[in-house]
Amino acid sequence: MAAGRKAGAVVIGSGNIGTDLMFKIERLSERLSMAAMVGIDPESDGLARARRHGVATTAEGVDGLADLPQFRDAAVIFDATSAGAHERHAAFARRHGKLMIDLTPAALGPYAVPTVNLDEMHFVDNVNMVTCGGQATIPVVSAVARVAPVAYAEIVASIASRSAGPGTRANIDEFTETTSRAIESVGGAGIGKAIIILNPADPPIVMRDTVYCLVEDSPGRERLDRNAVARAVRDMVARVQEYVPGYRLKQDVQFDRLDGVYVPALGRTFSGTKVTVFLEVSGAGHYLPEYAGNLDIMTSAALRTAERILELREGVEL
């Protein structure tokens, strides 16, 4: 990509997530510009807004991209559809040599969490953004794991029911499975578990996440340095806030001593420290309402991921 020239981005999916992502690319990105938006409903609000902003559109799914000259030079495709549709979209992107950023829980490619493992994604052509709960909580699990080994981590993501569209509701099982695996493989926990709650409160509440980490006593190792853990969590929260301003720690990190407590997930008794972190995520209001922090953190993380991978490919340091 020539100096000063932005790379083209295609968004597949003209729903809430895809439309919010389009606005973020156009308003916030110094490296990307919208090349096209893809949908299947010609009357969707997302496609209508894209057309009004001068963005090329097609309502023929990815098959319609071949007819758009703007697609030829695009570098990145964002998939904001569903886990079931992603396999076909991923194959399409691979055929055309485009970087695929997957916002569905399909998990065909490696998991990407901007503050944890992006520098490992240099040559990857399809990366998965885990889930909204994963993007909100895995950085915290990773922060704790960098101080001491985490035997078990459990996250509870509570989102406004009104912010959970058909795609989110259809992918609940994939959400829990994908997030649980990523807590282990990216967050560094020995065993991970994820729970999602659709909160019907009216007016809707913003996204709230609770992270529980069990750090086990280990022979020959000093007891957990609580100050180091609290500092690591605060530092990680600050790093996530760089691309998700509405991400915040709700209160000080909590520590509880546990001795000989049976933990079903471990299948044995546990002695050590339970670390509890309470988080809140509100949206930036680019397209979605403020309470939809669960969607905002996904689009923000996807944008940061695409930008960083392009930088890595070009040998550009942050």
Model confidence over 73-119: pLDDT tens digits?
999 999 999 989 999 999 999 999 999 999 998 989 999 999 999 98
Res. 26: pLDDT tops 70: yes
Specify the pLDDT at position 171.
Answer: 79
Specify the pLDDT at position 48.
Answer: 98
Q: Of these residues, 62, 83, 85, 132, which one is catalytic?
A: 132
Q: Which residue type, as a one-letter code, is found at position 26?
A: E
DSSP output for 197-265: EEE--SSPPPEEEEEEEEEE--TTSPPP-HHHHHHHHHHHHHHHHTT-TTEEE-SPPEEEEEEEEEETT
What average pLDDT does range 22-37 have in this prediction? 97
Specify the pLDDT at position 4.
Answer: 64
What is residue 186's three-state secondary structure? Answer: coil
Q: For residues 117 and 209, what is the distance between their CA atoms, to the nearest angstrom?
A: 21
Res. 317: pLDDT tops 50: no
Whats the size of the chain, residue-wise?
A: 318
* pTM confidence score: 0.94
What average pLDDT does range 134-161 have in this prediction? 97
For residue 31, the 8-state DSSP code is S
Q: Per the annotation, where are the binding residues?
A: 14-17, 163-171, 294
Q: Per the annotation, where are the binding residues for NAD(+)?
A: 14-17, 163-171, 294
Please name each of the domains of the chain with its CATH number: 7-129+296-314 (3.40.50.720), 132-290 (3.30.360.10)
Asked about 213 being catalytic, the answer comes back as: no
Specify the pLDDT at position 78.
Answer: 98
Residues 6+ apart with CB under 8 A from 9: 25, 29, 32, 33, 34, 35, 74, 75, 76, 77, 78, 306
CA 22 to chain centre: 16
What average pLDDT does range 215-230 have in this prediction? 88
Q: For residues 136 and 44, what is the distance between their CA atoms, to the nearest angstrom?
A: 29
